[in-house]
Amino acid sequence: METKTKFYEFTQNNSGGSFIVNEDLCHRLFIEADSEKEAIRKAEDLGCYWDGVENGSDCPCCGSRWHTPFGHVDILSMDRKKDGGYPVKKFLSNLDHDVKDFKKDYPGMEWIEEPVKGEKYNSPYISGRVLLRNIEDYAQVMANLYGFTSPDSRIFYKDGTVKEIYNLGVKEKLTKV
């Protein structure tokens, strides 16, 4: 029986007000694995740990730096094409920001709802909806929406390839681990 691999998402909490960023770790990790157990083992090999507050290495007010995943990232359920795509939004310092610049932050993605400018509670923004076709699309959206480190995300494929995803556009660095 063929086992279908999945991606498991590990997000780093900035415990103590900072993130650990090195050749393996950054804000968000996506690990391709056949099971959650396999993904957790790989994450631990990369430097993730689950008991930071308990062992005194993480801030008790902020919480532990890492948590085990809440299941796998299911691109098919995130696709949401039937629901109108995946929402993306950027708050702006002024309304002069160009919609074309916003679209450049999501290279190669299919726009289900073209970006438009808006304002809510005196806060200008641009928002739209994109189709998520693969893990790279999802990682890019997460980096653009919540990116705190450089790179913001790393995708670890089962074949040893690692892809780095940067906030506000993709800068690829493919390597064999």
Q: Report the candidate in 5, 164, 8 with the shortest Cα–Cα distance to residue 177.
A: 164
User: Do 146 and 60 sit in the same domain of this protein?
Assistant: yes
Residue 50 lies in a domain: yes
74 pLDDT band (50/70/90 cuts)? low
Instruction: Answer whether residue 105 shows pLDDT above 50.
Output: yes
Residue 127 lies in a domain: yes
User: Do 111 and 64 sit in the same domain of this protein?
Assistant: no
Residue 71 lies in a domain: yes
102-123 burial, b for 16+ CB within 10 Å, e for fewer?
A: bbebbeebeebeebeeeeeeee
Residue 1 lies in a domain: no
pLDDT tens digits, 110-156: 899 999 988 888 888 899 999 888 889 889 888 988 888 999 999 99
User: Do 139 and 63 sit in the same domain of this protein?
Assistant: yes
Q: Are 26 and 149 in contact (CB under 8 A)?
A: yes
User: Do 53 and 125 sit in the same domain of this protein?
Assistant: no
User: Do 118 and 88 sit in the same domain of this protein?
Assistant: yes
User: Do 11 and 70 sit in the same domain of this protein?
Assistant: yes
User: Do 24 and 106 sit in the same domain of this protein?
Assistant: no
Q: CB within 8 A of 79, min separation 6: which ones?
A: 86, 131, 132, 133
Which residue range forms the structural domain that includes residue 112?
A: 81-131
pLDDT tens digits, 5-22: 789 999 999 988 999 999
User: Do 117 and 165 sit in the same domain of this protein?
Assistant: no
Instruction: Answer whether residue 170 shows pLDDT above 50.
Output: no
Residue 73 lies in a domain: yes
User: Do 142 and 62 sit in the same domain of this protein?
Assistant: yes
Number of domain units in the chain: 2
Residue 46 lies in a domain: yes
User: Do 11 and 94 sit in the same domain of this protein?
Assistant: no
pLDDT tens digits, 55-67: 999 999 999 999 8
Of 126 and 100, the one with more pLDDT: 126
User: Do 11 and 68 sit in the same domain of this protein?
Assistant: yes
Mean pLDDT of the chain: 84
User: Do 171 and 104 sit in the same domain of this protein?
Assistant: no
